[in-house]
Amino acid sequence: MTLGGQYGTVAVMVVFGAVLYAIIMLLNRLMRPSVPSPLKLSTYECGVDAVGSGWSQMNIRYYVFAFLFVIFDVEAIFLFPWAVIFGDLTSSTTPSALYALVAMFLFIATLLEGLAYAWRKGVLRWE
């Protein structure tokens, strides 16, 4: 199957999913009783009345975690091409297997030093 054909399948799936969703929601709407009340629109918080609004200020510690997530996400992206070619590498190919291995581990080790820094400075602690 050609590439376009494969995406055609995906497109059909997407359209089919959307239509199915629309039909089910439509059926739902037709069959359910409609009794609106303000209580139904309030936030459900384990049965207890909600305190304040959902827009509260967050702790900056979340930011550090989100940032580290981005950093290591990018690292993972670099791992993919490496993993794909690594199986075909031997000592006689260009690049050689050892070279690719060392290069990747240098990369990871450098990032780990950054992580060690964050850990040592206590931003990963949650107290």
Partner 1 sequence: MAIDFGALGPEIALAVTALVVLAADLSLRGPAKQLVNPVAAAGTVVAIALTLRLWGDERSTFGGTFVIDSLALTFKLLFLGTLLAVLGISWRFFAEGRYFQGEYYFLIVTAFLGMVLMPSARDLLTLFVALETVSIPAFVMVGLRKRDLYSSEASLKFFLIGVLSVAIMLLGMSLVYGFTGTTSLTGIAEAIAATQTPGSETPLLLAAVLLIVVGFGFKVSAVPFHFWAPDTYAGAPMPVTAMLAVASKAAGFVGLTLVAFAAFAPLAGAWAPVLGVVALATMTVGNLGALQQRDVVRLLAYSSVAQAGYILLPFGVARGGTDALSLAVNQTAFRAVLLYLVAYAVMNIGAFAVVIGVARRSGLRATADYAGLGARSPLLGGAMTVFLLSLGGAPLTVGLWAKFAIVEALTVDVTAFGLVLAAGLVVNSVIAFFYYLRLIRGIWMEAPAEGAPVPQPGFNLSLVVVGLAALTVVLGVLPALVTDTTSVVTLALGR
Partner 2 sequence: MGETIAFLVFAGIALGAAVAVVAMRNLVHAALMLVIHLLAVAGLYLGLESQFLAVIQVLVYAGAIVVLFLFVIMLLGVDRDDLLVAQGRRAVAGAVAVGLVLAGALTFAFVGPYTGEASVCGSDVAPTGTEQSCAGIAPVLDADDDAGVAFLGRRLFTRYTLAFELSAVLLTVATIGAVVLARRRDLSPEDEDLPTGEVTA
Q: Three-state DSSP class for 45?
A: strand
- Per CB under 8 A, 44 contacts partner 2: no
- Per CB under 8 A, 94 contacts partner 1: yes
- Quote the CA–CA distance of 122 and 98 in Å, as a whole number: 36
Considering only residues 74, 110, 115, 124, which one is a binding residue for partner 1 as defined by CB under 8 A? 110
* Exposure class string for 7-39: b at 16+ Cβ within 10 A, else e: eeeeeeeeeeeeeeeeeeeeeeeeeeeeeeeee
Query: In whole angstroms, how close is the CB of 17 to partner 2 at the nearest point?
Result: 16
Query: In whole angstroms, how close is the CB of 114 to partner 1 at the nearest point?
Result: 8
Which of 110, 109, 90, 112 minimizes the C-alpha distance to 100? Answer: 90
What backbone phi and psi angles, to 5 degrees, belong to 99? -60, -45
Q: Of partner 1, partner 2, none, which one does residue 74 interact with (CB within 5 to 8 Å by kind)?
A: partner 2
Residues in the site for partner 2, rule: CB under 8 A? 3-4, 7-8, 11, 53, 55-64, 66-71, 73-78, 80-82, 84-86, 94-95, 99-100, 103, 106-108, 110-111, 113-115, 117-118, 121-123, 125
